[in-house]
Amino acid sequence: MSIIRVDLKEKAYNIHVGQDILPSAGELIAGACRGRRAVIITNPKIGRLYGGILAGSLKDAGIVADVVAIPAGERHKTLRTVSSLYERLLDMKVDRGGIAIGLGGGVVGDITGFVAATYLRGIDFVQVPTSLLAQVDASIGGKTGVDLARGKNLVGAFYQPKTVLIDLSVLGTLPRREFRAGLAEIIKHGIIQDGEYFKFLEENSGIILKRNPEALEHIICRSCQIKSAVVRADEREAGLRRILNYGHTAGHAVELLTGYKTLLHGEAVAIGMVTAALVAREMGGADADLARRLACVLTSAGLPVKLPEGLSPRAVVDAMKLDKKVLGGRLNTVLVNSPGRAFVADNVTPEIWQKALSAQMKL
């Protein structure tokens, strides 16, 4: 088992990465949390697959646990779902010594973290991500929250988990499309922070798609290391951490416009990354073949690189104006000039965005 330390002083925690962690998860959670009463928040499918294993492991470690399932999907990542969970926790008499454990993908993790941050002004929180996307992204760094009708993640809190448990064996039951969606965030980590890692992903997409165990462990650990280092340097996204939003500006807008029903989050981020690469090209600072290389590696991973049919560049630009990264009327945009060299720009005009989106439709 590999252990990656997220060193945030008094809020520091470990990310455990390895095969078949779930049967011993209780011991790891008991060592990280003070309480002995837990609620496992999951969705119906993941609950059936892994809820009993996790609850049994907690019981063996002296922790009483209940499993609560919430509906699956981004459209249920709402304050209404959060309110229903508050009621369940009250009914179960969970006090400030309780532990909220998110067992599932990014939606479950975000909701569980937000509930933990706000219920009784804060209870312990553990992430047990079961999707590739959540393992390398949503479970690390303490971003929690829910969506509003007018945009994604507009209500939330920074709230760090006590520990993160990444069991590689659960990826064996992950549907192909969801696995590929997770690769979008992995590719993002390479292009924003590590050119050699990005090159590895370009050259090894075949064995990664076959879920080769050694390749999976390598990319998951490397992505966790990259994200952890960024979070250590900038926990609350005041500076460096903003580079983790690469591809999310246009990606979130596309998700919103398609009602969170057409695309998975990773698929939208893939589209958004190509948009950002074309923006950098329009601004004259990017490597000439950056957008092509990025589109190729994403396509090799089975991810979309064009806007969904029926979406206009103008509609996407208008939706971006509601993005939470708008500050002082300016939309902060993460751009990359070459793999491993990301920066934040606040001078990308709507006209440049429209040109990039129009060019993307012709790819």
Q: Is 185 a catalytic residue?
A: yes
Q: Is 143 a catalytic residue?
A: yes
Distance of CA 265 to the CA centre of its chain: 8
d(CA 351, CA 348) in angstroms, rounded, equals 8
Q: Is 248 a catalytic residue?
A: yes
Catalytic residue among 242, 265, 281, 325: 265
Q: Are 132 and 183 in contact (CB under 8 A)?
A: yes
How many other C-beta atoms can be found within 10 angstroms of the C-beta atom of residue 239? Answer: 11
Q: Is 16 a catalytic residue?
A: no
Q: Is 237 a catalytic residue?
A: yes
Catalytic residue among 74, 178, 185, 282: 185
Catalytic residue among 227, 242, 281, 325: 227
Catalytic residue among 245, 255, 281, 325: 245
Bridge partners (DSSP) of residue 103 are 128
Q: Is 214 a catalytic residue?
A: no
Long-range pairs, 231-236, Cβ under 8 A, ≥24: 231/6, 231/8, 231/140, 231/141, 231/142, 232/6, 232/7, 232/8, 235/8, 235/11, 235/141, 235/142, 235/158, 235/160, 236/158
Q: Is 351 a catalytic residue?
A: no
Catalytic residue among 93, 121, 210, 261: 121
Q: Is 210 a catalytic residue?
A: no
Catalytic residue among 37, 143, 180, 242: 143
Residues with Cβ within 8 Å of 212's Cβ and at least 6 positions away in sequence, in order, are none
Catalytic residue among 77, 152, 241, 281: 241
Sign of CA dihedral 199, 276, 72, 147: positive
Catalytic residue among 152, 252, 281, 325: 252
Q: Is 241 a catalytic residue?
A: yes
Q: Is 218 a catalytic residue?
A: no
Catalytic residue among 74, 237, 255, 267: 237
Residues marked as catalytic: 121, 143, 185, 227, 237, 241, 245, 248, 252, 265
